[in-house]
Amino acid sequence: MNKRAHLLVIDDDPLNRLVLENTLSEEFDIRLCSCADEAWLVLDNDVDEVRIDLILLDVLMGEGAGYHVLERLKASHKTYSIPVIILSQSHSFHDEAKALELGALDYVTKPFSPAIIKARVKNHLAIKKKNDLLERLANIDGLTEIPNRRALEEVFGKLWLQAKKNSHALAFLLVNIDYFRAYNDKHGYAAGDACLVKVAHVLQEVTRHYGGFVARFDGVRFAVVLNVDGLESTLQFAQALELMVEDLKIPHQASPICAFISISMGGIVVVDNFTATPVEIYAQADEALRKAHQLQAKLEIVSI
Ligand SMILES: Nc1nc2c(ncn2[C@@H]2O[C@H](COP(=O)(O)OP(=O)(O)OP(=O)(O)O)[C@@H](O)[C@H]2O)c(=O)[nH]1
């Protein structure tokens, strides 16, 4: 069964709210707000985790306060992708252009036809559904279905800024599956694919448990970004990863170091040196991983 979409109506006219409720509540879950403050309470409320799919906004309520609401919606990363349909008493081209320039997707003048409003809501929800799917597909790795490098870059950027602002440490780890070329040669490429999927999922499970983020970095390497207390807690996390992967007990008949699939890691813990760029951090983690490999160690983590 299709999930009902959640609509938010922001309109100070009780009659309009009633008409919209009567028109839309049979097919959609609808929240009615009479002013911007009420609407922000709904939008900021993560408690019941209701995500608003579309907003109908009376742009001229309270002497044009709706324009400020629109600007704020489009300025926040949390709400900018929610489609907004403007409801307005004004037939002026200037007002319509202003609303569209500020990011509204549609502009409907009052009095409106309930049937047309319903049709427009449905059309915009259908477009949003496709956009959401494209966004999701653009950010996941096709084989393992965990986030891809593109998603990593976005999340890493955000976590980096947060860590810098709040002065807490951030760890970046590159995780490599050992002797994977030999695994493919011995067990076959299809078995290699299945193995990558299992390892990816276990890395994701452990990383989520620690509140971090994991993505497929390239080939058989994964990247983890994690808020940490420092080097010690990063080492503990890395050891947990290592154990969980070994616990999968995926036989690796061509590995010279272990009867099962195993991983090696190179990582950087950024404690207070937030001057580097993400690319430099990737390079340093890559270097640490190379060093771990040369020393035949499972783990090399450097603190900067
Ligand atoms: N099955 C499968 N293999 C892949 C995939 N992506 C990369 N590989 C293979 O993974 C292997 C990675 O090899 P390397 O990391 O260069 O070297 P290695 O054999 O793991 O050796 P060490 O790094 O010394 O442990 C290559 O043979 C790639 O072809 C994939 O999506 N599926």
For residue 175, the CA-to-ligand 1 centroid distance in Å is: 13
Check residue 1 and give its pLDDT.
47
Residue 275, token pair as written in the block? 């001057």
Check residue 2 and give its pLDDT.
61
For residue 286, the CA-to-ligand 1 centroid distance in Å is: 15
Q: 54 to each of 43, 73, 110, 115, 300, how far by Cα in Å?
A: 11, 12, 19, 17, 48
**pLDDT above 70 as % of the chain:** 97
Task: Map residue 224 onto helix, strand or coil.
Answer: strand
Q: Give the span between the Cα atoms of 85 and 73, in whole angstroms.
A: 12
Contact 55, 82 (CB under 8 A): yes
Q: Give the span between the Cα atoms of 45 and 224, in whole angstroms.
A: 29
Residue 288, token pair as written in the block? 């640490």
Q: Does domain 149-303 have CATH number 2.60.40.420?
A: no
Check residue 47 and give its pLDDT.
43
Q: Give the span between the Cα atoms of 73 and 65, in whole angstroms.
A: 13
* CATH topology agreement for domains 6-138 and 149-303: no
Q: Which of 184, 217, 245, 265 to mutate to test the pocket of ligand 1 (most atoms within 8 A of CB)?
A: 184
Q: Give the span between the Cα atoms of 152 and 47, in whole angstroms.
A: 27
Residues 86-127 pLDDT 10s:
999 999 999 999 999 999 999 999 988 999 999 999 999 999
For residue 261, the CA-to-ligand 1 centroid distance in Å is: 13
**Atom 22 (ligand 1): residue with closest C-alpha?**
179
Q: Which of 144, 177, 180 to mutate to test the pocket of ligand 1 (most atoms within 8 A of CB)?
A: 180
Q: Would you say the CB of residue 257 lies under 6 angstroms from ligand 1?
A: no
Q: 38 to each of 33, 91, 187, 262, 263, how far by Cα in Å?
A: 6, 27, 60, 53, 51
Q: Give the span between the Cα atoms of 248 and 177, in whole angstroms.
A: 13
Instruction: For 115, list phi and psi in degrees, rounded to 5.
Output: -65, -40
Q: Give the span between the Cα atoms of 232 and 238, in whole angstroms.
A: 10
Residues of the chain falling short of pLDDT 50 = 1, 47
**Atom 32 (ligand 1): residue with closest C-alpha?**
193
Q: What count of other Cβ atoms lies within 10 Å of the Cβ of residue 225?
A: 22
Atom of ligand 1 nearest to the CA of 192: 1
Check residue 296 and give its pLDDT.
76
Domains of the chain by residue range: 6-138, 149-303
Residues 240-287 pLDDT 10s:
999 999 999 999 999 999 999 999 999 999 988 888 888 899 999 999
CA dihedral (233, 239, 244, 247) positive or negative:
negative
Please work out, in degrees rounded to the nearest 5, the angle formed at the alpha carbon of residue 201 by the alpha carbons of 200 and 202: 95
Check residue 175 and give its pLDDT.
97
Check residue 41 and give its pLDDT.
87
Q: Would you say the CB of residue 53 lies under 6 angstroms from ligand 1?
A: no
Q: Which of 220, 221, 245, 298 to mutate to test the pocket of ligand 1 (most atoms within 8 A of CB)?
A: 220
Contact 109, 99 (CB under 8 A): no
| CATH number, domain 6-138, options 3.30.230.70, 3.40.50.880, 3.40.50.2300, 3.40.309.10 | 3.40.50.2300
Q: Give the span between the Cα atoms of 259 and 250, in whole angstroms.
A: 8
Point out which residues pair with 266 in neighbouring strands.
Answer: 174, 300
Nearest to 124 by CA among 83, 152, 153: 83
For residue 189, the CA-to-ligand 1 centroid distance in Å is: 10
Point out which residues pair with 85 in neighbouring strands.
Answer: 56, 106
Identify the DSSP state of 53. -
Check residue 155 and give its pLDDT.
92
